[in-house]
Structure 1
Amino acid sequence: MIESTEKQDLSEWQPYALDYHAQELVLKHRNENNVLNESHKMRMTVAYGLERFWGEQLRLRRDKKTRNKSQYWQDVWQKLAEILQPAGVNLPNDDVTSTLPEHTREQKKEKEKDETQKIQAMANKIWSMSLPEQRIALMVLTQFCDALVWWTQRYRP
């Protein structure tokens, strides 16, 4: 075995701790009705890419019955962004909720237009990530979802 004369500085390297974060999220959402079933859907959705994975929370947010599921997807995305940060991968994670008032019909239309623009801007940021960053994010997300499924199978009430 040949040893390098250069000493590697590994102080910046940190393990992803995907298992820990997955366990944490599964426990957080464990007692919400049918939310943990989303773990399996998340794992399947990874194959369709980051933008579609991110967008699933928006679809679920539209219906009051699935808001907890939407929050689970959003929490997973948020945690993924935090996990990738030390590796230098900046996963877009903008809030796309409009703060405009919606008291009148015109205000409601303006609010919807504002949210549409925010969603488009967020999608563009995801699509604009470099190919290596996209690949890294997808690889980590795949492993993260595998861990979510594993913990879901153990902790489902």
Structure 2
Amino acid sequence: MAWKTYDLDRIAQRLVLDAKERDKDSLGQAFKMRVAVAYGLERFWGEHLRLQGKKADEYKAKYWKETWDQLVAVMLKAGVKIPNDPVQSDNEKAVRSMAEKLWQIDIQDQRVAIAVLTQLCDCLVWWTQRYKKK
């Protein structure tokens, strides 16, 4: 099977430009996203919930969630279904359910998703460096 880019660079550029337009301070989240990938899908997914509901972090939460949504869409194109239930941080039952679904993903599919998410976040970091003002 040949490597497919799935337009990750283009997706990342759009995500960064959208984040910059809303709130330039959100751009620093790309670096945090890249670091968070190493901790797994569950933790990456949950980060938007941690930021949710905090007025100062609403744009950061949106950036994390949009990145997750793009990962889900790309993986679907690749034939891997990643759960993406709508969840609010104050709904503990829904949070637990979604986390459990993520833990149940086939290990090979998890590895592929992590590899794609890593590349997407690398692209986010690259575009962030291009658009961030010194």
Q: TM-score range by the shorter chain?
A: over 0.9
* Separation in 2, partners of 1:146, 1:15: 13
Deviation of 1:14 after TM superposition, in Å, equals 5.7
Unaligned runs of 5+ in 2: none
The one-letter code matched in structure 1 to 2:19 is H
Q: TM-score, with normalisation over the residues of structure 2? A: 0.92
Deviation of 1:136 after TM superposition, in Å, equals 0.4
Corresponding position of 1:25: 15
Deviations 1:63-94 (A, max 9, x none): 11001000000000000000111111111111
Please state if 1:149 is matched with 2:92.
no
Unaligned runs of 5+ in 1: 1-7, 99-111
Corresponding position of 1:47: 38
Deviations 1:89-126 (A, max 9, x none): 1111110139xxxxxxxxxxxxx4xx111111100010
Q: How many residues align?
A: 132
Corresponding position of 1:84: 75
Q: TM-score, with normalisation over the residues of structure 1? A: 0.79
Q: CA RMSD in A?
A: 1.9
Percent identity of paired positions between Structure 1 and Structure 2: 47
Structure whose CA Rg is larger: 1
Q: Identify the structure with the greater helix proportion.
A: 2
The one-letter code matched in structure 1 to 2:7 is A
Corresponding position of 1:61: 52
